[in-house]
Amino acid sequence: MTTPPQPDVAVHEVSVVIPVYQGEHHLGPLLVELSRLTQPFASPAGNRARVGEVILVFDHGPDDSPRVIRELRERYDFVRTVWLSRNFGQHAATLAGMSSSGGDWIVTMDEDGQQDPADMGAMLDTALSESASVVYGDPVNKPPHGLARNAASRGAKWFTSRLVGATDVVKFNSYRLVLGEIGRSVAAYVGSGVYLDVALGWVANRSATCPVTLRDEGNRSSGYNTRTLASHFWRLVLTSGTRGLRLVSATGLAFAVLGVLATIVLVIARLGGADIQAGWTSLTVVMLITSGAILFSLGVLAEYLGVAVSMAMGRPPYLIVGDPADGPQGRSTGPSGS
């Protein structure tokens, strides 16, 4: 049961950041829910908070989200809009919103209404009770994405946690509460292609989780396909540290040991009188093994090099521009602008 607000307790200002890609049909109902939290409310533990601003970051999706964003900006005085120059992806759009926020805390959430805004009070309680700079929503029910995608998500997190060394990856969730100064600082310095939650882990003193309940996202189709999900996972692997490079070395060592053992077996068999035909078979097998290991190693090294080059060239993770409707692109007098 929610504790009544205490008038002598300081109110925590919360900035809500929502990356928008396909929000035409879901943003309206979500903003209605968030509007109820713009007045001071009490968390389950009695902490007072209010949503001071909702930042909608347009990431150039395929639907009519720009129209909806403009309508919401006119309807609610707490709505702020951020327009990106092109599609940069969810993490980059979230960083752009963080950099434009001004609250004591930043809450990031999806546009589809799957995450309940009412849970942010409990997340704030967790942050205060555990002195955590970052609190992730920990769903108590299964995400409504289908068996294959849920299994792939669990497998990716297990791989990254056990083999790459990113032990906090099991906590990662797009519904997160971040200390404002931490979120804005990360958004200011993080390089292109860096996984947002990995970057937060570099500077946050502590992260925690809070139980939340996922809701049905309706008939909205996911903005992620197999290719983008794979890219999302690979970026997590590459930015989680250099253990991947050590895995390359270990792979090369394993194949070298395998080659030595195979050589010993063949020599012993030959000395024992076994009839081993001299030919291309054994040579081909060795070449395939060694060349495969070399190419795999070079591929991983090239990926790391690509991340470093992108950062060294100054490629921005995002670029904020003005609302196209308010600039030169909105001044057309032709059929498309009338």
Please indicate, yes or no, whether residues 16 and 146 belong to a single structural domain of this protein: yes
Higher pLDDT, 322 or 252: 322
Whether residue 258 sits in one domain with residue 217: no
> 271: pLDDT confidence band, cut at 50, 70 and 90?
confident
**Domain holding 28: CATH number?**
3.90.550.10
88 shares its domain with 192: yes
Q: Tell me: do 99 and 165 sit in the same domain.
A: yes
Per-chain mean pLDDT for the chain: 79
Same domain, 141 and 93: yes
Confidence of residue 280 (pLDDT cuts 50, 70, 90): very low
Return the residue matching tokens 């009839």: 275
pLDDT in the model for residue 109 = 96
Cα torsion angle, 261, 265, 270, 271, sign: positive
- Do residues 122 and 208 make contact, with C-beta atoms less than 8 angstroms apart? no
Q: Is residue 167 part of a domain?
A: yes
- Both 219 and 248 in one domain: the answer is no
When divided into structural domains, the chain yields a total of 2
| Element at 53 (helix H, strand E) | strand 48-58
Please state, in angstroms and rounded to a whole number, the distance separating the CA atoms of residues 102 and 181. Answer: 9
Q: Which residues contact 253 (CB under 8 A, 6 or more apart)?
A: none
Q: In the structure, what pLDDT confidence band is assigned to residue 288 with cuts at 50, 70 and 90?
A: low
Same-domain status, 262 and 132: no
Q: Is residue 105 part of a domain?
A: yes
Of 193, 223, 253, the residue at which a domain comes to its end is 223
pLDDT of res. 70: 96
In a shared domain, residues 181 and 103: yes
Residue 98 lies inside a defined structural domain of this protein: yes
Q: Residue 182 above 90 pLDDT?
A: yes
Q: How far apart are CA 250 and CA 243, in angstroms?
A: 10
- The torsion region of residue 105 among left (phi > 0), alpha (psi -120 to 50) and beta comes to beta
Predicted pLDDT of residue 80: 97
Over residues 311-326, the mean pLDDT reads: 71
Among 64-78, 201-215, 278-292, 311-325, which stretch is predicted with the lowest mean pLDDT?
Answer: 278-292
The answer on 192 and 293 residing in a single domain is no
Q: What is the pTM of this model?
A: 0.71
What pLDDT is attached to residue 79?
A: 98
φ/ψ (deg, to 5) at 61: -80, 175
- Domain interval for residue 218: 11-223
Let me know: does 122 contact 211? Beta carbons within 8 Å. Answer: yes
Q: Which residue has the higher pLDDT, 176 or 329?
A: 176
201 vs 142 pLDDT, higher one: 201
Let me know whether 140 and 41 are in one domain.
yes
Q: What percent of the chain has pLDDT over 90?
A: 41
Indicate whether 280 and 179 sit together in one domain: no
For residues 212 and 249, membership in a common domain is answered with no
How many Cα atoms within 13 Å fall on the side-chain side of residue 12?
26
